[in-house]
Amino acid sequence: MKKSIFPFITIMLTVVAFFTIRRASAQKKRIAQRNLEDAEQIVTPVSTKATPSVDTVVTPVSTKTPPAMSTPVTSNWNEQKSKLKAKFATLTDADLYFDEGKKEAMLTKVQTKLGKTKEEFQKIIANL
């Protein structure tokens, strides 16, 4: 009795088609997520803080010194960011973007991506 190979081929093609569609769907989700992250980078958060009047005296809330990682970062982050991207081609805008109050997390992530120790990374930022 000779068995037909047709059912086996049909099953195999169905399995291959299933995984191909599943992979394409996952890839579309990744692309959509990446586009969403890129769009979020373009939108800059608007500060809702009120500006102090001339009569107002602004005093610091805390006298704690900031963590050691934040001291080398100056107020002109855009210049430092462009110098870092020029020096390290693997860095992207997404790597160097941070939300208000989350600069330390971003710096730690960049340090890890570059494979540098905390001290090495602080020296790199200080020399920019």
The per-residue pLDDT for range 24-60, each reduced to its tens digit, is 888 888 888 887 777 666 655 555 555 555 555 555 5
> Of the candidates 107, 111, 112, which has an alpha carbon nearest to the alpha carbon of residue 97?
107
Instruction: Check the CA dihedral 106-110-111-113 and report its sign.
Output: positive
Cβ(94)–Cβ(79) below 8 Å? no
Cβ density class 73-85: b for 16+ within 10 Å, e for less = beeeeeebbeebe
Interval 74-90 mean pLDDT: 80
The pLDDT value given to residue 57: 55
> Of the candidates 50, 107, 41, which has an alpha carbon nearest to the alpha carbon of residue 77?
107
